[in-house]
Amino acid sequence: MGFRTALSKGLLNMSEVKQELKAQVELFHELTGHLPPHMDGHQHVHVLPEVRHVFAEVLEEYGIKYTRVPIEPGLHNCDWIPPSLMDFYLGVEEDSFNTVDVFTRHGIRWPDIYIGLSTMGKNMSVSNIWSAIDTAVVEFTSKAPSPAHPTPQRTVTIELMVHPGYPSVPPVGGCGEGPDDFSQSWERLHELQTLIKPELQSHYKTRNVQLCSFKDL
């Protein structure tokens, strides 16, 4: 959140932001031997005003094709999300809508559907994941133009944002100044346990959902 505050006060130099982004890409390449097929920002900072432009420039420069545009269908109807958190999510959504044209101009792509805000942490369950997927697919297909000559249905791509793992124990873990409350909580383990449930895996097979990574797209 400190990054957002600094940006709102005009304290960030975008040339330094770009330098940092490039340094992270270079380090990733040094450590893995290849460029990342996908890149986004922690807490969705990559869609913030000003940042979105230098972020897009760096991705285009390195040929990184995919990013995240966190606009979740059905989010406004999720009454279980606390008001303060919903305000943050809606701010992210607005920034994302304003980012679409920027990313498009730079040839950057993203999945057809994004899900993850409504199913994060303690709100993750097999039923919630499928409800979010069903809502999103119905909305996406309803907006798709009807061709004059019907063709076989194309594959719809969905990004499900998840945070599986184990609770961090300070001072290890986290970003920057150590692990935040979410990183230290039981909710990360809850996500892990939900995502590996046989029930969820069975749903994938029944619904013809193929799990993949961005490099497979």
Confidence of residue 146 (pLDDT cuts 50, 70, 90): low
Query: For the chain, what percent of residues have pLDDT higher than 70?
Result: 94
pTM of the model: 0.89
DSSP of 195-217, one letter per residue?
HT-HHHHHHHHHTT-----GGG-
> CA-CA distance, 174 to 65, in Å (whole number)?
27
What number is the average pLDDT over the span 31-54?
A: 96
Residue type, 209: V
